[in-house]
């Protein structure tokens, strides 16, 4: 990406053209924490005239120096964000998108700043959230049901046609990912065989968020301010989102609160179903939790290789390369629990 001064000048010119403003001034650049796949920057914009007349805090989301193969492009993520915003799902308001890398050095999109806490560890561990977690969990169940009911408009044509068997399509993708690595991963092979053997009758595919979990929403004392990070959205079995949300990896140490580290599965399921979501099959959720651990194992290996092979100097990427061992243990535990008839 361009140096700060050049980036500021280029983005001011872009904002003037995109919003129809007479003048635009940007100050206060700051890199936002989190976002191991993409980069997010906040800044203050002062606009004169046009659609954004006045002062506003905006967020720029752009590509990281190296890419994760599973991630959608910024233009595609922007289109998904617009669809969610139009459907009434709480997301940051999407404003403008540029696929022209010449503007700031990489494709990007702009959205309005939304206040809230995205730190998953703080939300599940801090005492100040103890009384608020049940409300957050209920609201998340309702919001996931709304996401799964979102209409898919023409501007989301890049999603392609829904697969007739979402599980088979997902396993095919995971096999392709596993073949990319030159080191052996026998537990991943075990998981693929188990998932193929235990696959049930195909579910109807819906638009799924793809990364719906604690850490990817903004929480406030009043509820959920925004659902973030839509770069993995895709057609899928709705139980895939639920299994990912309940995966042990995203409880941030609150392992006894199985739904996102916030509360019980039953409370989350009730909220989802009461909001019009499909009836949840706990056996399907268990299946997709095994798939979630396999997926996180493979994504962690891809993140590792962004550091080891792609040359991106990031401590977060390097540490993520240690996560596969945790995923392997969880895969074995979940498969064993299924064999014993428990969870």
Domain match, 165 and 66 both: no
Q: Which of 53, 87, 112 is the last residue of a domain?
A: 112
Domain match, 161 and 61 both: no
Domain match, 154 and 282 both: yes
Lowest mean pLDDT among 143-152, 211-220, 227-236, 313-322: 313-322
Domain match, 31 and 89 both: yes
Beta strands of the chain (E only): which ranges?
Answer: 23-31, 38-48, 54-63, 94-98, 108-112, 206-208, 217-220, 223-227, 234-236
Q: Which of 53, 88, 112 is the last residue of a domain?
A: 112
What are residue 108's DSSP bridge partners? 62, 98
Mean pLDDT along residues 219-244: 97
Mean pLDDT along residues 209-224: 97
Residue 31 sits in a domain of what CATH number?
3.30.200.20
Cα 187 to the center of its chain, rounded Å: 25
The residue range of the domain holding 323 is 120-339
Domain match, 124 and 108 both: no
Domain match, 302 and 243 both: yes
pLDDT 10s digits, 169-199: 999 999 999 999 999 999 999 999 999 999 9
Lowest mean pLDDT among 45-49, 74-78, 300-304: 300-304
Domain match, 15 and 107 both: yes
Mean pLDDT along residues 100-129: 96
Mean pLDDT along residues 24-29: 95
Buried b (16+ CB within 10 A) or exposed e, 331-340: beebbeebee
The closest of 43, 46, 48 to 58, measured between CA atoms, is 43
Domain match, 136 and 281 both: yes
Residue written as token pair 């498969």: 335
Lowest mean pLDDT among 145-159, 165-179, 255-269: 145-159
Mean pLDDT along residues 246-267: 97
Is the model's pLDDT at 310 over the cut of 90?
A: no
pLDDT-based confidence at 149, cuts 50/70/90?
very high
| Environment class of 128 (CB within 10 Å of its CB; exposed 0-12, middle 13-18, buried 19+) | exposed
d(CA 308, CA 133): 38
Q: What are phi and psi of 111, to 5 degrees?
A: -145, 165
Q: Which of 90, 112, 134 is the last residue of a domain?
A: 112
The closest of 145, 128, 174, 138 to 277, measured between CA atoms, is 145
The whole-chain average pLDDT of the chain stands at 94
The closest of 218, 217, 269 to 243, measured between CA atoms, is 269
In this predicted model, which residue has the larger pLDDT, 284 or 313?
Answer: 284
Is the model's pLDDT at 7 over the cut of 70?
A: yes
Mean pLDDT along residues 127-144: 97
Q: Is the dihedral of CA 86, 97, 91, 269 positive or negative?
A: positive
Residue 260 sits in a domain of what CATH number?
3.90.1200.10
Domain match, 162 and 226 both: yes
Domain match, 81 and 137 both: no
* Contact (Cβ atoms closer than 8 angstroms) between residue 228 and residue 209: no
Tally of domains within the chain = 2
Domain match, 284 and 172 both: yes
Domain match, 171 and 104 both: no
Q: Is the dihedral of CA 186, 191, 194, 195 positive or negative?
A: negative
């Amino acid at each position: 990406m361009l140096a700060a001064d050049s980036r500021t000048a280029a983005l001011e010119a872009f904002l003037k053209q995109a919003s129809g403003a007479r003048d635009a001034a940007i100050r206060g650049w700051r890199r936002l924490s989190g976002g191991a796949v993409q980069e997010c920057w906040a800044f203050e914009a002062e606009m004169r005239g046009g659609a954004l007349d006045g002062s506003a805090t905006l967020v720029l989301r752009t590509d990281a120096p190296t890419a994760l193969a599973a991630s959608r492009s910024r233009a595609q993520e922007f289109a998904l964000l617009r669809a969610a915003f139009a459907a009434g799902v709480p997301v940051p308001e999407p404003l403008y998108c540029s696929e022209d890398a010449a503007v700031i050095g990489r494709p990007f999109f702009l959205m309005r700043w939304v206040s809230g806490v995205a730190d998953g560890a703080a939300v599940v561990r801090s005492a100040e959230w103890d009384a608020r977690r049940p409300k957050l969990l209920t609201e998340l169940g309702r919001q996931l049901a709304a996401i799964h009911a979102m209409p898919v408009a023409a501007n989301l044509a890049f999603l392609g046609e829904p697969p007739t068997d979402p599980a088979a399509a997902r396993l095919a993708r995971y096999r392709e990912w596993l073949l990319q690595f030159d080191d052996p991963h026998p537990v991943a092979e075990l998981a693929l065989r188990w998932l193929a053997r235990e696959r049930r009758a195909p579910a109807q595919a819906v638009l799924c968020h793809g990364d719906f979990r604690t850490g990817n929403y903004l929480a406030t004392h009043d509820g959920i301010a925004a659902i973030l990070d839509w770069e993995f959205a895709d057609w899928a079995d709705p139980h895939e989102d639920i299994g990912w949300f309940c995966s042990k990896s995203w409880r941030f140490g609150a392992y006894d609160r199985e739904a996102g580290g916030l509360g019980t599965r039953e409370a989350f399921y009730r909220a989802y179903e009461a909001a019009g979501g499909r009836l949840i099959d706990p056996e399907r959720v268990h299946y997709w939790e095994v798939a979630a651990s396999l997926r996180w194992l493979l994504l962690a290996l891809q993140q590792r290789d962004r550091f080891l092979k792609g040359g991106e100097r990031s401590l977060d990427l390097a540490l993520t390369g240690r996560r596969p061992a945790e995923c392997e243990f969880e895969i074995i535990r979940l498969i064993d629990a299924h064999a014993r008839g428990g969870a």
